[in-house]
Structures are given as C-alpha cells and as structure tokens.
Structure 1
Amino acid sequence: MGVNIDLHSYDYEPLLEGIKNYVGTEDTNEIDKILRACGSVIDGKYIILNNELWDGYSPYYNVAGALDRHFKSDDVFGEVFCTFDNKYGHENLINACDSPDEILEELNLGVH
C-alpha cells in the first residue's frame, strides 16, 4: 500500500466562486484566508499539497474540513475539490511514485 504525496493546482477564481456558492456565503475574504492557510496562490492558480505521510495533517484534505466546519457545510472536498467535470481547472502537478519499477510498469516500458 502506497502513501500519496501529490501536488495539485486549481484555477483560483473559479475555485473561490465554487466554494462560495457551495457553502452559501458572500464572504470570499474568509474563504481566501482558509485557502491560503493550506496552500498558495501563484499566478492565478491555487497550489495545494496532498501529503498522506503526515496522517491527519494533509493540507489537501484539511482545507475542505476547515471550510466545512467554518461554514457548516457537508462535503466541500467531494463537491468542489474532487468533481468529475473539472470545472475548477484541477491539475495533478506532481504524482508520488512508490518505486522505479512501478513507474516503468505504469508506462508499459519494462526493464531493458
């Protein structure tokens, strides 16, 4: 069983609007504070780390938990950060890999 350590990005303004609509608030300042406490905004992109190695301390999961608690919502993670339609420009920037063999296997390259 592997541990994910991945870096994700989202288009910041659409993400901020999506969260605002989902939690039912007009206060984007509070959302912005929570987002920036867990990630960074760089050139219009929200960058956040998923670090499952630190059990319970992964910013990727905790940002949604903080938003849910503060705004008394139920599933910011599932409804905003992990949508199937990619309306927030989600990109997986860096993927964790368990071993060189797994990389080669995933790419169907094998060992020479």
Structure 2
Amino acid sequence: MPTARLNGELITDWESFHTECEKVFGFPDFYGRNMNAWVDCLSYLRDDDGMSKFVLKENEVLTIEVQHSEKLRAAAPDIVEDLQFCVAMINERCEDYEETATLKLALL
C-alpha cells in the first residue's frame, strides 16, 4: 500500500505544512499552497492527472502518515483539524462516485 509520510516536527504553520506537502506528494509547480489546492491535487489519485507523484490502482488507498503528530497538534491544532476534514471530504467525494475511498490518515 502506498504511503506518504509527513514529518510533523517540520510543520509549525501553514507555510511549512504546504512546503512539506509539496515535497512529499510531488505537487506540481503551480500548486496554490492552500487547502483548496491540496484537495484538488489529491482528489483524483486514480486518474494519473499529474497533480501528485502518487497514482493509485483501482481500490488502492494512499495512507498519509503524520509522524510526530503530537508535536504538530501542539504547534498547529488547526492544521490537524483541517487535514482530517479534507481527507474525509475527499473520501466522501469518492463515495459519491461509488468508488473506494482513496485516502487513509494515520496520526502517529
């Protein structure tokens, strides 16, 4: 199962969150560095649209591991909350299209 590992020690604010995500997910140069753009880049992982370095096969799930999540939660609890919300939203979008969810969030 593919896994994207975000280092929670490196994320202290929105700027560092988007920098870490650009690196880990391989977002394109025109990535908007906001949560709308984050959702756009990760919404169609099975379509190989060039928005992420991850391309999922049918029924495959990308696990997003947030390492040192307790440090991230202490430094920026709003980022953890928005991350959980956006992962759920992307998975709900999959359900709307009668597809298997594409993301799993693991706070480690």
Higher RCO (Cα < 8 Å, 6 or more apart): 1
TM-score for the superposition, normalised by structure 2: 0.30
TM-score for the superposition, normalised by structure 1: 0.29
Larger radius of gyration: 1
